[in-house]
Amino acid sequence: MTLPALPGHPHFAYRDNALFAEDVRASELAATYGTPLFIYSKTAMLSALASYQRGFEGRDAQICYAMKANSSLAVLQVFARADCGFDIVSGGELERVQAAGGDLKKVIFSGVGKTRAEMCQALAAGIGCFNVESEAELDVLSEVAVAMKLRAPVSIRVNPNVDPKTHPYISTGLKGNKFGVAHEDALRIYQHAASLEGLKVVGIDCHIGSQITEVTPYLDAMDRVLDLVAAIEAAGIALAHIDFGGGLGINYSADDMPPEADALWRQLLAKLDARGYGGKKLMIEPGRSLVGNAGICITEVLYLKPGEQKNFCIIDAAMNDLPRPAMYQAFHAIVPVERAATETAGVIYDVVGPVCESGDWIGRDRILDVAAGDQLAVMSAGAYCMSMASNYNTRGRAAELLVDGDLARLIRARETAADTFRGELLMP
């Protein structure tokens, strides 16, 4: 019997009670490569991208993958080969784009703290645009560009003070956030940028947050940005493109009901057309919505530990592998890799890892029918898991696989202990 796909995960489904990633049995991959193990679906990534591409059909638009969500080289290759550009936030990420064969002219460099060295690196590479986040950064970037006898293409990130209705740690568009310049200061700062010898103003940028599940914040932000576009261009500064960032959420749970990307952009483009800016080039930087539901993490149950107040299911994955619950109190669905043929009541467990921190938990109060040695799948693990993974407790980072139909490829080898301290030097 083939059971329906898991909600929000059409490319991960049960067949005869066994979890499959596309056409590959997850338990067989875990037996071959060990656990914890990240498995990504190539089809899921391209399907998510296709929703954006449908939304922009017939428009002058560039989709730049926000690679901080998952910067594994093979993942970058998937998007580079699908004609995506890349949104980077460091010189290291630029080197990853180069290693993956990305088009450097389609690279946008975001982030509040670019160093002079990173500016030089990006200018020498010939990236498409710098998203500048402060007046001080404009001055430094101009100095660097003049010294290199170049002009840096810039877009200024404007903070529209719109509440994205998401977790405060991933909200980026309010007055209290560190990102962008204040809406009321934007025109003056654009005039300053246009006066600097080393800069060429090419666009305007806005990004209000991440894991957004409602349309209204996007519509509100677009209105505020378009008001600024009108004022800036009235002052004689032409803007070749408008960048609306990313931030669209995914289905971490049944309570998360974000719009599909194409449906969201139908509404946004209708507003853009109504305001008279439908002919502008558009830039967007989705990250989580392209990869989040394209990945799972397979982990083994090590011990079951009953207690007076809590029962603990201790697994071999930990906060260094799956940091989102510890950082944001985030939810990930947790399901068995091999499901019992007959449904049982199960026991309520907190699912925790072996790291020596009380914050090392993956799921609270989950009903599970498990025994030591069973395997679980942590769902929606494609974004902000491996890219934020660490070696805390000298734990090697997990292996990663990319599945395409019935083919699974190893795209990152599991780290050994020696890998984790390579580069460290002993005292004589």
**Which has the closest alpha carbon to 76: 243, 289, 290, 251?**
290
User: Does 172 or 300 have the greater pLDDT score?
Assistant: 300
Q: 392: number of CA atoms within 13 Å, CB side? A: 17
Domain with CATH 2.40.37.10 in the chain: 2-41+292-420
Q: What residues contact residue 382 under an 8 Å CB cut-off, 6+ apart?
A: 38, 40, 44, 45, 69, 70, 291, 292, 293, 294, 295, 296
pLDDT of residue 21: 97
User: Would you please indicate which residues are annotated as catalytic (active-site) residues?
Assistant: 356
Query: Residue positions in the annotated binding site for pyridoxal 5'-phosphate?
Result: 247, 285-288, 384
Binding-site positions for substrate read 288, 324, 328, 357, 384
8 A C-beta contact, residue 67 and residue 85: no
Q: Residues 6, 12: contact at Cβ < 8 Å?
A: yes
The tokens of 334 are what? 């947790």
Q: Please state the rounded mean pLDDT for residues 253-262.
A: 85
CATH 2.40.37.10: does it fit domain 2-41+292-420? yes
Of 209, 284, 275, 273, nearest to 247 by C-alpha is 209
Cα–Cα distance for residue pair 353/314, rounded to 1 Å? 6
Angle, alpha carbons 261-324-295 (nearest 5°): 55
What does the H/E/C string look like for 312-355?
EEEECCCCCCCCHHHHHCCCCCEEECECCCCCCCCEEEEEECCC
DSSP state letter for 212: B
Residue type, 311: N
Chain region(s) in the chain for CATH 3.20.20.10? 110-286
Tokens linked to 194: 């246009």
CA angle (336, 341, 343) in 5-degree steps = 75
| Per-residue model confidence as pLDDT tens digits over 108-131 | 999 999 999 999 999 999 999 999
Distances in Å between the alpha carbon of 113 and those of 66, 156, 184, 192, 205? Answer: 17, 14, 22, 20, 16
Chain segment 91-110, per-residue pLDDT in tens: 999 999 999 999 999 999 99
Collapse the DSSP code of 74 into the 3-class scheme (helix H, G, I; strand E, B; otherwise coil) and give the result.
Answer: helix
- Confidence check: pLDDT of 337 > 50: yes
**Residue 142 scores a pLDDT above 70:** yes
Give per-residue pLDDT as tens, 370-408.
999 999 999 999 999 999 999 999 999 999 999 999 999
For residues 7 and 356, what is the distance between their CA atoms, to the nearest angstrom? 33
Report the distance separating Cα 408 and Cα 148, nearest Å.
Answer: 45
Give CA–CA dist 54/19, Å, rounded.
Answer: 30
Which one is predicted more confidently, 217 or 196?
A: 196
Specify the range with the lowest mean pLDDT, choosing from 107-121, 183-197, 213-227: 213-227
Q: Which residues belong to the annotated binding site?
A: 247, 285-288, 324, 328, 357, 384
DSSP string computed for 2-21: EEEEETTEEEEEEETTEEEE
Would you state the pLDDT for residue 213? 85
pLDDT of residue 258: 87
CA 267 to chain centre: 23
pTM of the model: 0.93
Q: Which one is predicted more confidently, 180 or 130?
A: 130
Query: Which residue is listed with tokens 């101009």?
Result: 142
The DSSP output letter for 209 is: B
Q: Cis omega (within 30 of 0) on the bond before 306?
A: no
Q: Where are the alpha helices (DSSP H) in 235-318?
A: 261-274, 288-291
CB atoms within 10 A of CB 5: 13
- Which CATH topology does 110-286 take? TIM Barrel (3.20.20)
3-state secondary structure of 395: coil
Q: Tell me which range, 168-177, 254-263, 388-397, is most confidently predicted by mean pLDDT.
A: 388-397
- pLDDT-derived band at 256 (thresholds 50, 70, 90) equals confident
Going by pLDDT thresholds of 50, 70 and 90, the confidence category of residue 343 is: confident
CA distance 44 to 42: 5
What confidence score (pLDDT) does residue 302 get?
98
